[in-house]
Structure 1
Amino acid sequence: MEQTIRVELSETLKEKPKTDQLEFGRVFTDHMFVMEYTEPLGWHNPSIVPYQPLTIDPSAMIFHYGQSVFEGLKAYLTSDGDAQLFRPERNLKRLNRSNQRLCIPEIDEKLALKAIKELVALEKDWIPGAEGTSLYIRPFIISTEPYLGVAPSRHYKFIVILSPVGAYYKEGINPVKIAVESQFVRAVVGGTGEAKTGGNYASSLKAQEVVAKEGYAQVLWLDGVEKKYIEEVGSMNVFFKINGEVVTPALNGSILEGVTRNSVIQLLKHWNVPVVERKISIDELHEAYKAGQLEEAFGAGTAAVISPIGQLTWRKEHLVINNGETGEISKKVYDTLTEIQYGKTEDPFDWVEKVSVPSKVKHA
């Protein structure tokens, strides 16, 4: 039987930020969704409540063993004033794949989507309407059992919070400089690279910190065994246009299966642009560059959508791609994806999911 989501409205509403002052992930809406897991009850008590701090025991297992997963998606405001989501079911399926890897009990994906829709509907007035802005949705699960022992927790919280955001990168759709990482590794096959868990991101910070001091936006990650094959760029999937063909690293157990990545591949196939998923080494990429065949490079992810790469630095050599300018494919993919997300163009893939806003939850 489908669980009913309890709603507790906040007595005091926050002042909403001005759209031209939005940073990514700094401001949060008035409400959040919370659901508990305990044995033997399982997942229970789904509730929308006022946004508030969590009270968790200092011995909660999340603090000591890092058993957590999260997702990221967005709600968009159309020109007609409607709220809509972009492929949310894929995020929830991926959340459960992450749960499986981290030994966290799976959630009911239909209930989770219902919760996200109800929360977004309640907070619709928080969705900014300016160009390039959106309402970022962060579902996450943490282990909360008070126990110092290396074992799967028996208590969890599933929480969804919302944040009005502007562009993730200040550079926007303009190309960024990327350093090829040769010292640190992001993940290895058999590890947690294909799961969306906090530890993956914590371990990536050092490399980013080092290259940021040299003026680079992010790093290009190589595989963790041979340090030869390209995997991701920063926290995004990566694509290269080589001699007319678009190449992206094949999913191998250490690469996150991005929703935007899948969308880019489908778009390219729809346009009859040659696209292939396969292993690609940094040496092959360098050879393509020297032959004048490396035509474009870009990252793809929920936060930034598309981030063109204008320069790669490898072994102190600067590989300037497409004269440091945004490429034709990068621009077309970015424009098409964002136009679908904001309801400005036809959605031939049925990717968009409308959020209905019942009158009883509309704020004045």
Structure 2
Amino acid sequence: MNAQQIRIYLRSLSGGTLGEAARKALLERLEALEDDELDLIFPEREWTETVPAFVPESEQIEVYSSIMAQVRPRARVRRMTWLRAACALLFVVAGTLATLTWWQSIEESQQAVAVQTRWMQFSTGAGEHRLVTLSDKTRIWINGATTLEVPETFDARHRALRLLEGEIFVEAGIDPSRPFRAEMDSVKVDVLGTSFNMRNYHNDPGASVSVATGKVAMRHKSISLILTPGKTGIWSKHDGKLVPGKPSGKPGSWKQREFHFDGETLGEALDELEHAFGYRYYTKDKRLLMRPVKASFRDQRHGDMLRVLGSMGRFRYRQQDSLIIITAISHLP
């Protein structure tokens, strides 16, 4: 098995398509590699700037055990050096090669099928939540004031959704043979098996993606961001730039009525509550909405949350049906 064949096997291993016999042969060949062979299989230019791919701990342990079972005592020092290099490089390069090929195939094949796909639409009103389960077991939590489109059926090669407006949290079913793509405006999100939050309300300054588990690629034209758990990407509606956002905390916590505000403005906090509970908020003094708030809520009533924010933001409020009118307690400087 030469270097090129090993690289082909690594791609299949990362994509979950390598047979058991070939898998065992690959592990045996990797264990016997010399340093010069490592340089051919894992050229430094391919991995020094690469974001590592996610590999389940069970697979790492299995590879480690397979290699260590064949280590001879007199070769332990050299083998341990190889082991450290192999464990790191195997998962980085295999994941990178497979991911690049995968994104390319998604782009080409989904463009061809998009024209003939029939879409279903799901919508929620302000304050309404909904859970949709797709045919591949993907689950989508839909926040208030949201419009979402999904195909009537997934074909044999593709899975997709479109967020037209609002916010969703997606737990994508794992299916290596059918990559999953989510779209909003001109932003594309490519995933294989992961969970993530997408948000794109019309009054938001940007569309955002936050990852809870796994890894996604957030793309706009030729620019890509690789997002891992806790990371957020933001596409600016003002200048079209795609940039990393601040750490996302707990993506999708809104579906459990959890809200975490850590320095966000009062206006941003009220936007969150508006989508979740369906109330509208009004104040004459727009400077009040710029006051920072820091609070966490879990499954609390709207009125209790508003009282805490009022104490923190120094405002009082009164309610008329679904409208909340806010006034400052003290004069703003």
More helix by share: 2
**TM-score normalised by structure 1 residue count:** 0.27
Greater length-normalized contact order (CA 8 Å, ≥ 6 residues apart): 1
Bigger radius of gyration: 2
**TM-score normalised by structure 2 residue count:** 0.28
